[in-house]
Chain A
Amino acid sequence: MADPVSTMPLRTGGVSAWKAPVAIGVAALVVLAVCSVTLPTFLVNNLIRAFLYAAVALTVDLLWGYTGILTFGQSAFFGIGAYAAGLIFTHAGFSLPLAVGALAAGLGAAWIVSRMVGWLAFYHGASPLYASVVTLVLPIVLVQGIYSGGEFTGSSSGLSGFDSIDIPLEAWFFVAGAFLVGLAVTAWLFVRSDAGRLMVAIRENEARCEYLGINVSRYKARLMDACAVIAAFAGFLFACVQMVVAPEYAGFVFGTELVIWVALGGRGSLIGPIIGAMSIDVGSAYLSGNLPYVWTLLVGVAFVVVIVAMPRGLAPLVAGVARQAMPRRRRIAPAPVTFVAAQQRAGGFADNTRPALSLRNVQKHFGSLRVLDDISFDARAGELLSLIGPNGAGKSTLMRCIADGAERSAGTVEIGGTEIRTLAPYDCVALGVGRKFQTATVFESLSVAEALRIARYRVAPPSKWERDSTLELPQPALDVLRLTGLDRIPERECRYLSHGQKQALELAMVLALEPRTVLLDEPTAGLTKQERTQIGEIFVELSSRYRMCLLLVEHDLDFVQQISSRIVVLHQGRIVMDGSVEEVVHSDLVRAVYAGDAHAAANQPEEEA
């Protein structure tokens, strides 16, 4: 998603990640205990509901604010939890074992439904709009199901008058509040952790994540499962407290209200959605009686204004004012991440018995248009193979066909002796292919160190609750960082890097995958002469010293001539020449191709080396 939502205000960093959240959580629990006996009953009653709504809003924030999955379906999971309690207590009566059973049934049902939604909504290549559509259809289907349940589900009027856990309102207030506090603290620890940064990385650049070997669809589906279970738990508590369930609580309109609360409070901030949900819900309880339609109108106007003019919601605004007003506190600077060399994995880089990369009769066509026709070549470890050819020759398409099994129309691609069949990009990464995109693609709001840690996600899964102050990287990646000076600015956000630094960072991210074959699509585009020389030296080093196989797409013939060990010339989707640098550079054919004498060139027989 391209929304300009930047980093969370909750980031402080540091190693003692547990301290602040746990301390604030304990403080919140104390406040809750005090409030439960001092607040008027009407407010207590409203706050219980607001706490549970805020918990669901928090899951919307995790899904939408952090990860970029716009969901209208969290209400459905809330409804599932609520109806599990309502149905069992109405038809089987209330007892403690039955309550436990109802809870288990509610969470289980939510989990199963979420798995189905995940299967539908998240697959390689799915558009974000489609995922939203699926979450939109879910509550609609569920509500229609409730309507057609007749007496059993209470149809449109819902179920009420069932027995429930008999504890005083003050106790419910504390239970619901503690649930919200516990959830918020857990979510806070998670989003600040090294693993939690992946959510932001997915929101900012899903494709880059996939080409870093991360199965984004599975991650999203797991996240939705967790959020579904949490929402169902909130729904279960809701039914127990209110002793009433109705289709509206599962409906699509409630689903959109959740999104409105999150947007107003401030997406991607955790605290914003909690405050947004609670203040609007409690506000409605007091104001919608006096100003029946005007209140909803005001919320609607505020929502539109916030979406259009303040995409990050009111939280950053409030935080900014608070920071101005409060005496300046010295922020504890986060301990900078230090990069250390990782142990080389078993197997090493060089396996000379088989070609690192082997293409046989690869074809790609869009309808009747042949973009690639019968491409076959091998590339070995230690080779620096350059692909050259005029614009539209199919170079970038060929790169895609190697890094994504679903791309090519026919032929086989083998990576290190394994055929890629129709494997998705993240599986191709596991086979040892790293791909650098044509335009530098990094995660704008992550820091250099965070971006590199995302790149190590597959090799060394990071902690879900803490931030590590060291990051192990393979030597080639470290070399790139050192040469370009990026190792001195690990905390700088990627958006502030120069173009050349972004290119270098992306290269380091690809090398952090410990690939055996590296695909580089115009890696020097837009670089200065000096940067270009520097990066050329790095490439030579990668192939000669680390025995990687590099496949390079380039336009600059001089540059290619200096660094390549072999050159393949593509023209109109075919290989017209494959040979050493000398052969290619002095070939009339290549001169003809570049001079635009395409017809003559295409008709010449292949000059295989």
Chain B
Amino acid sequence: MLNLGLDVVTTAAILFIVSAGLLMVFGVMKIINFSHGAFLTIGGYATVIVAHAGLNWWWGVPCALAIGFVSGMAVERFIVRPLYARPLDAILATWGLGIIVGQIITLIFGRGVQMVASPVDGAISLLGTQYSAYRLILVGVALLIALALGWLLNGTRLGLQTRAVIMNEALARGLGISSSRVRFMTFCTGAALASAAGCLITPLASVDPNMGVPWIVGAFMLVLVSGSSLVSLAVASVVLGGAQVLVSTFINPVLGGLTIAVLAALLLRIRPEGFARG
């Protein structure tokens, strides 16, 4: 029972980590960044690069953040910016970018699965039960990301401008806020977050050129039901992630894999705003 509870909490944390970057981009730019999966993959390979360089695994995180941010700059400038008025086309172009990234990685690293050492091994005992230490660390990481993003949005000038753009872009522009700069920074931050998430999930998943793909659909659905709010995303991660754990445990894992997508689609049909208020 306690194990199940921990499964729910850690799954929600992982989903939150993986989706946070996508939410940022969707909230501000109102487009779905399907290259999110590609950025996850890039982050995963950052750990491979770090391992080759003989550095400690944890160096992968800042490295992934940096690579993600820089590649996000290029992607925003050349692919996303021209498509800002065509949201459905933006989905397609970013999906195409995912294909390109996957192929480039295949050409450099080969199509095989890369082995990456895990930073923390084994289980720790918690309230009388053994549980994977790394999954528990991820709960802390998720909280850290939530706090950091919360501070970015609510404690900085750029965050204030970002919130203004989210609420009413036309008005924000009228008040002299450079919405294109806000969009640019948001996309780069989203890409960096995705990349860091890709790095963080390597101990749980394999590193291969298509490692991001299975995560996109889940993240995409979570973001759609959350709108543009981090709090809604946290709620959605816990509710839908919890449902996924329960279905996987008590019915079967295949259905479990579908839980998020199906529940989210039905939820949006009944309540188009999803978990977001109003």
Binding site for B on A (CB under 8 A): 1-3, 68, 70, 120, 123, 125-130, 132-134, 136-137, 140-141, 144, 147-148, 252, 256, 259-260, 263, 293-294, 296-297, 299-301, 303-304, 307-309, 311, 367
Do the beta carbons of A2 and B107 come within 8 Å of each other? no
B268–A147 CB distance below 8 A: no
State in angstroms the CA–CA spacing of A127 and B265 once bound together: 13
Inter-chain contact B268/A307, CB cutoff 8 Å: no
Contact A300 B100 (CB under 8 A): yes
A120 touches B88 (CB 8 A): no
Would you call B221 an interface residue if the criterion is a C-beta within 8 Å of the partner chain's C-beta atoms? yes
Q: Is A144's CB under 8 angstroms from B265's CB?
A: no
Given contacts A132-B91, A148-B252, A307-B96, contact A2 B32 (CB under 8 A): no
Cα–Cα distance between A361 and B78 once the two chains are bound (Å):
54
Which of B99, B255, B266, B269 has the most chain A CB within a 10 Å cutoff?
A: B99
In the complex the two chains form, what is the Cα distance from A303 to B221 in whole Å? 25
- Residues on B with C-beta less than 8 A from A125 are 272
Interchain CB contact under 8 A, B272 and A259: no
In the complex, residue of chain A having the shortest beta-carbon distance to the beta carbon of B256: A144
CB of B100, distance to nearest CB on chain A (Å) = 4
Could you give, for residues 78-96 of chain B, a 1 whenever the CB lies within 8 Å of some chain A CB and a 0 otherwise? 1100110111110111011
B91 touching A70, Cβ below 8 Å: yes
Alpha-carbon gap, A256 to B96, bound state (A): 9
Q: What residues of A have a CB within 8 angstroms of the CB of B266 in the complex?
A: 120
B122 at the interface (CB under 8 A from A): no
Answer whether residue B106 sits at the interface, using C-beta atoms and an 8 A cutoff.
Answer: yes
Asked whether, in the complex, the Cβ of A3 is within 8 Å of the Cβ of B100, the reply is no
A256 near B272 with CB under 8 A, answer no
Bound form: Cα–Cα A509–B94 in Å: 39
| Residues A308 and B79 in contact, CB atoms below 8 Å apart | yes
Residue numbers in B under 8 Å from A133 (CB-CB): 220-221, 224, 265, 268
Binary interface encoding of chain B residues 262-278 relative to chain A, with 1 for a CB under 8 A from any of its CBs, else 0: 10011011001000001
Give Cα A63–Cα B24 distance, bound, in whole angstroms.
30
Give 16 pairs: A residue, B residue, CB < 8 Å, sorted on A. A2-B85, A2-B86, A3-B89, A134-B265, A144-B254, A294-B107, A297-B104, A297-B107, A300-B97, A300-B99, A300-B103, A303-B92, A304-B97, A307-B96, A308-B78, A311-B89
Enumerate chain A residues within 8 angstroms of B278, measured Cβ to Cβ: 367
Minimum CB distance partner of A301 in chain B: B100
Compute how far the CA of A128 lies from the CA of B217 in the bound complex, rounded to whole angstroms.
17
Q: Does B146 contact A (CB under 8 A)?
A: no
Q: Is B79 a contact of A1 with CB atoms below 8 Å? A: no
* Inter-subunit contact B262/A141 (CB<8 Å): yes
CB distance from A337 to the nearest CB of B (A): 32
Of residues 48 through 83 on chain B, the ones whose CB sits less than 8 Å from some CB of chain A are: 78-79, 82-83
Which residue from chain B places its CB closest to the CB of A295 in the assembled complex? B103
Report whether B99 and A296 are in contact in the complex, using a CB–CB cutoff of 8 Å.
Answer: yes
Q: Does B172 contact A (CB under 8 A)?
A: no
Would you list the 8 A-B pairs with minimal beta carbon distance, nearest first?
A: A300-B99, A297-B103, A304-B96, A303-B96, A300-B100, A307-B93, A148-B254, A137-B261
Residues of chain A within 8 A of B220, CB atoms compared: 133, 136
Interface residues of A: mostly helix, strand, loop or mixed?
A: helix
List 5 additional A-B contacts (Cβ < 8 Å) besides A120-B269, A300-B97.
Answer: A68-B88, A125-B272, A129-B32, A144-B257, A148-B255
Chain A positions within 8 Å of B265 at CB level: 120, 133-134, 137
- Bound form: Cα–Cα A127–B269 in Å: 10
A3: chain B residues within 8 A (beta carbon): 86, 88-89
Number of B residues near A (Cβ < 8 Å) is 40
The answer, yes or no, to whether B171 is at the interface (CB within 8 Å) is: no
**Set of chain B residues within 8 Å of A263, measured between Cβ atoms:** 92
CB distance from B157 to the nearest CB of A (A): 29
Q: Which residues of B are found within 8 Å of A296, using beta-carbon distances?
A: 99, 103
Residues A129 and B83 in contact, CB atoms below 8 Å apart: no
Given A70-B91, A130-B272, A133-B268: A260 touches B96 (CB 8 Å cut-off): yes
Q: Are A304 and B258 in contact (CB-based, < 8 A)? A: no
Q: How far is the CA of A252 from the CA of B255 in the complex (A)?
A: 17
**Cβ contact of B92, chosen from A129, A259, A301, cutoff 8 A:** A259
Rounded to whole Å, the gap between the CB of A229 and the closest CB of chain B is 23
Q: Which of B89, B99, B217 contacts A140 (CB 8 A)?
A: B217
Contacts of B93 on A, CB cut-off 8 Å? 303-304, 307-308
B261 touches A141 (CB 8 A): yes
> Closest A-chain residue to B80, C-beta based?
A308
What CA separation (Å) do A236 and B226 show in the bound complex? 40
Do the beta carbons of A293 and B106 come within 8 Å of each other?
Answer: yes
Q: How far is the CA of A127 from the CA of B106 in the complex (A)?
A: 36
How distant is the Cα of A309 from the Cα of B111 in the complex, in angstroms?
31
Which of A70, A134, A140, A308 touches B83 (beta carbons < 8 Å)?
A: A308
Question: Are B79 and A304 in contact (CB-based, < 8 A)?
Answer: yes
Residues of A within 8 A of B106 (CB): 293
Which residue in chain A gives the minimum CB-CB distance to B254? Answer: A148
Of A68, A125, A137, A263, most buried by chain B (CB within 10 Å of CB) is A137
Q: A307 with B83: in contact, given A129-B32, A297-B103 (CB under 8 Å)?
A: yes
Residues of B with C-beta under 8 A to A307: 83, 89, 92-93, 96
Contact partners of B221 in chain A: CB under 8 A: 133, 137
Residue among B95, B111, B257 with the highest chain A CB neighbour number at 10 A = B95
Q: Which residue of the partner chain A has the closest CB to B95? A: A256
Bound form: Cα–Cα A303–B35 in Å: 14
Expressed in whole angstroms, the Cα–Cα distance for A301 and B101 within the complex equals: 10
**CA–CA, A120 and B265, complex, Å:** 8
The docked-state distance in angstroms from the alpha carbon of A141 to that of B263 is 12
* Residue from the set A3, A260, A308, A367 with the largest chain B CB neighbour count within 10 Å: A308
Instruction: Please tell me if the beta carbons of A1 and B96 are within 8 angstroms of each other in the complex.
Output: no
Nearest-Cβ distance from residue B71 to partner chain A, whole angstroms: 14
Specify the chain B residue showing the minimal Cβ separation from A308. Answer: B82
State which of A129, A141, A300, A311 has its C-beta within 8 Å of the C-beta of B86.
A311
Q: How far is the CB of A15 from chain B (nearest CB, A)?
A: 36
Query: What CA separation (Å) do A125 and B82 show in the bound complex?
Result: 27
Residue from B79, B104, B254, B261 having most chain A Cβ neighbours under 10 A: B261
Query: Which residues on A sit within 8 Å (CB–CB) of B82?
Result: 308-309
Give complex CA distance A129, B254 in Å: 26
Q: Which residues on the B side are within 8 Å of A367 (C-beta)?
A: 278
A1 touches B88 (CB 8 A): yes
With beta carbons under 8 angstroms apart, the residue of A136, A260, A311 that contacts B217 is: A136
Contact with A along B238-270 (1 / 0, CB 8 A): 000000000000001011011001100110110
For residue A260, which residues in chain B have a CB less than 8 angstroms away from its CB? 92, 96
**A311 CA / B82 CA spacing, docked (Å):** 11
A300 to B105, CA, bound (A): 14
Cα-based distance from A256 to B254 in the complex (angstroms):
23
Nearest CB on B from A177, distance (A): 29
Chain B residue at minimal CB-CB distance from A303:
B96
Are A303 and B254 in contact, CB atoms less than 8 angstroms apart? no
Q: Kindly name the residue among A68, A133, A296 whose own CB sees the greatest number of chain B CB atoms within 10 A.
A: A133
Q: Are A303 and B91 touching (Cβ within 8 A)? A: no
Q: How far is the CA of A70 from the CA of B87 in the complex (A)?
A: 11
Question: Assuming A134-B265, A308-B93, is B99 touching A303 (CB within 8 A)?
Answer: yes
Q: Known: A256-B95, A304-B93. Is A147-B88 also a contact (CB below 8 A)?
A: no
Shortest CB distance A368–B (Å): 12
- Asked whether B88 lies within 8 Å of A132 as measured between CB atoms, the reply is yes
Chain B minimum-CB-distance residue to A256: B95
What's the least CB distance linking A126 to chain B, in Å? 8
> With A125-B272, A130-B272, A304-B79 as given contacts, are A297 and B89 in contact (CB-CB < 8 Å)?
no
B270 shortest CB reach to chain A, Å: 10
CA distance A478 to B107 in the complex (A): 65
> Which residues from B are CB-within-8-Å of A304?
79, 93, 96-97, 100
**Considering only CB atoms, which chain A residue lies closest to B107 in the complex?**
A293
Complex CA gap A367/B277 in Å reads 11
Q: Are A128 and B89 in contact, with the CB atoms below 8 A? A: no
Asked, given contacts A140-B217, A140-B261, A144-B258, whether A297 binds B100 with beta carbons under 8 Å apart, the answer is: yes
